[in-house]
A and B are shown apart, each in its own frame.
Chain A
């Protein structure tokens, strides 16, 4: 176990390092220095500026300084707004995390329930209906689904406000649905296959033979074991929700990290792009690590290699 843990953690650290490398060199590769647009600079002023921002040092030293700043949560200053990026990041992330968290929660609950129903009613109409919708939702990009939701519920039916400024709960309904649709469909399929697998195991037959009630067999023996593969999907799901929020937040006009990111892309606000990328990427790597470790902890049958 500890060997696996160490290996997995090392891999995560390496991934984060690679992400840092990519972002740093991507930033350096952008043509034109940061002070090229300043009109009234003399070479002397420029040299002072270069020294102030450590741009006169060799690249590897710049990289080290950059990493040191990151560990202090210091991402520099946004080119567009001139504000500290770390502040913007944390306020925006609070909004995104709220919506994303609700979406993830909804996806897991509904996905597991639907998956279990599909497995128990295998090849009958509930199963077919559920599989039809999950197939449809896995083929629909989040932005298509989100815009369709907006169109139907806000514009055609007028049930919910299109762009409400006040922070009402109804504002979050559609974004959560849009974000949760794909993960729900995926979890449903996952639960269905693992549930079918669990139901065909010997211990289910033993439990039935002992005279355990059907409800107990399903909830205590089958569903519990069927849930294990769902844990592995938690990491990728959060990654999906975070990237999905890039478009969903823009469509529903929510001031979260996704909207901030797309805005900084349109504005070519490089420090902001880098900071958001690193921030999101590290979260995703950590989530993957957590869900992988959880998986091994929960299921002792899994061989540790």
Chain B
């Protein structure tokens, strides 16, 4: 067995004769077959394999395309009464989908062309399709901006609290605890009522064009809704902070801002993206709820919630006016929820249940 010349048993010298050459086939086993992927590419690949997530992306893209294209194609505006041949058509009230009013029918018989009312008209002779499209646009915009607001405040607050640690963290997290335990919807309603009164007196252009309710929704989101995000980010940062590369960066003398930017934020980016995706439907929920209670966007601006609210009066005769905005809300919220779940499964295997 041991034919090699005796040598010091403690010697580390390798006995070459005891090895044999690898065959070509064995060598090929070591080849890297697939290309190396980045974290992002790998996540996207997993996301694209999830049929529910892909379905929701398709639905969302379709909705966004409709929002962009519909106003270009449909010749009606969301705030004006339908005009036939330049004249206001007061008979076009509460039409069923694809129905024409008497004046329009006459105009068509005379050889004119009228764009069909895909979802009919509302009680004020306005084309309902374009109102639903506009409402969807406003609801989505509110949702998006509110989530961006939450994102910015939550990430800033959470990262400062998590990074500083100690007393600062303790105090900052107590504040978060208190805000977290406040009943948000009630405070939103209260603040909206009060802000409405106070803002109504200001002459600022932004406030006038957006409507005071809109502004108060954003203010309230900025005040209350960021706490969930802040908590998550803080938790992530505490985890990341205990890694050695942070210690190394600190030892080299990197300033805190740089450590947060280059080491910590990129590592908790997936949690942030997922939470933001799930924040959008919750913002849309809140906005539609407020609109439904009558504290939403300024008339004649429609939002999905205010459309559903307006449809309640004629529910017995024109139920379709409720169905269209209701289905749109459910579709959007469902799509964002499923997309958020898909993102979580794809980008953060740790969060998977």
**A contact residues vs B (CB 8 Å cutoff):** 11-12, 14-15, 18-19, 22-23, 26-27, 29-31, 135-136, 138-141, 143-144, 147-148, 150-151, 155-156, 193, 239, 242-243, 246-247, 251, 261-262, 265-266, 268, 270, 273-274, 277, 280-281, 284-285, 288
Report chain A residues within 8 Å CB of B311: 147
CB of B16 closer than 8 Å to a CB of A? no
Of the candidates A27, A242, A262, the one whose C-beta lies within 8 Å of that of B293 is A262
Interface of B is mostly: helix
Task: List 21 interface pairs A-B (beta carbons < 8 Å), by A numbering.
Answer: A14-B178, A22-B182, A31-B197, A135-B338, A139-B330, A141-B285, A143-B289, A143-B305, A147-B322, A147-B326, A148-B322, A148-B326, A151-B319, A155-B316, A239-B183, A243-B183, A247-B289, A247-B292, A273-B193, A274-B190, A281-B187
CB of B334 closer than 8 Å to a CB of A? yes
Report chain B residues within 8 Å CB of A156: 319
CB-CB nearest in chain B for A22? B187
Of the candidates B182, B285, B315, the one whose C-beta lies within 8 Å of that of A281 is B182
Task: Please give the distance in Å from B228's CB to the nearest CB on chain A.
Answer: 12
Query: Are A285 and B334 in touch, CB under 8 angstroms?
Result: no
Give the residues from 188 to 233 in chain B that come closer than 8 angstroms, CB to CB, to chain A.
Answer: 189-191, 193-194, 197-198, 201
CB-CB nearest in chain A for B325? A144
Query: Are B186 and A139 in touch, CB under 8 angstroms?
Result: no
CB-CB nearest in chain A for B285? A141
Give the residues from 308 to 353 in chain B that come closer than 8 angstroms, CB to CB, to chain A.
Answer: 308-309, 311-312, 315-316, 319, 322, 326, 329-330, 333-334, 337-338, 353
Query: Are A243 and B334 in touch, CB under 8 angstroms?
Result: no
CB-CB nearest in chain B for A292? B181
Assuming the contacts A15-B178, A247-B292, asked whether A280 and B186 have C-beta atoms less than 8 A apart, the reply is: yes
* Count of residues in B whose CB is under 8 Å from the partner chain: 42
Report chain A residues within 8 Å CB of B194: 26-27, 29-30
Give complex CA distance A31, B334 in Å.
41
Query: Are B334 and A139 in touch, CB under 8 angstroms?
Result: yes
Query: Are A262 and B315 in touch, CB under 8 angstroms?
Result: no
CB of B133 closer than 8 Å to a CB of A? no
CB of B112 closer than 8 Å to a CB of A? no
Of the candidates A136, A148, A247, the one whose C-beta lies within 8 Å of that of B334 is A136
A-B complex: 6 closest residue pairs judged by Cβ atoms: A139-B334, A243-B185, A139-B333, A284-B183, A26-B194, A15-B181
CB-CB nearest in chain B for A143? B292
**B contact residues vs A (CB 8 Å cutoff):** 174, 177-178, 181-183, 185-187, 189-191, 193-194, 197-198, 201, 281, 285, 288-289, 292-295, 305, 308-309, 311-312, 315-316, 319, 322, 326, 329-330, 333-334, 337-338, 353
Query: Are B330 and A262 in touch, CB under 8 angstroms?
Result: no
Report chain A residues within 8 Å CB of B177: 11
Query: Are B315 and A11 in touch, CB under 8 angstroms?
Result: no
CB-CB nearest in chain A for B338? A135
Report chain A residues within 8 Å CB of B338: 135
Assuming the contacts A22-B187, A243-B186, asked whether A268 and B319 have C-beta atoms less than 8 A apart, the reply is: no
Task: Please give the distance in Å from A181's CB to the nearest CB on chain B.
Answer: 12
Assuming the contacts A139-B281, A139-B330, A288-B181, asked whether A281 and B308 have C-beta atoms less than 8 A apart, the reply is: no
Query: Are B285 and A246 in touch, CB under 8 angstroms?
Result: no
Of the candidates A14, A144, A246, the one whose C-beta lies within 8 Å of that of B308 is A144
Give complex CA distance A242, B183 in Å.
10
Assuming the contacts A136-B334, A266-B294, asked whether A19 and B193 have C-beta atoms less than 8 A apart, the reply is: no
Query: Are A18 and B353 in touch, CB under 8 angstroms?
Result: no
Task: Please give the distance in Å from A285's CB to the nearest CB on chain B.
Answer: 6
Assuming the contacts A31-B197, A150-B315, asked whether A277 and B189 have C-beta atoms less than 8 A apart, the reply is: yes
Assuming the contacts A19-B182, A26-B191, A193-B353, asked whether A144 and B326 have C-beta atoms less than 8 A apart, the reply is: yes
CB-CB nearest in chain B for A197? B353
Report chain B residues within 8 Å CB of A281: 182-183, 186-187
Assuming the contacts A30-B194, A265-B295, A280-B186, asked whether A140 and B315 have C-beta atoms less than 8 A apart, the reply is: no
CB-CB nearest in chain B for A243? B185
A26-B190, A144-B329 given; 8 more Cβ-contact pairs under 8 Å: A12-B181, A26-B194, A139-B334, A140-B333, A141-B292, A261-B189, A277-B190, A280-B186
Give complex CA distance A265, B285 in Å.
20
Task: Please give the distance in Å from A100's CB to the nearest CB on chain B.
Answer: 14
Report chain B residues within 8 Å CB of A11: 174, 177-178, 181
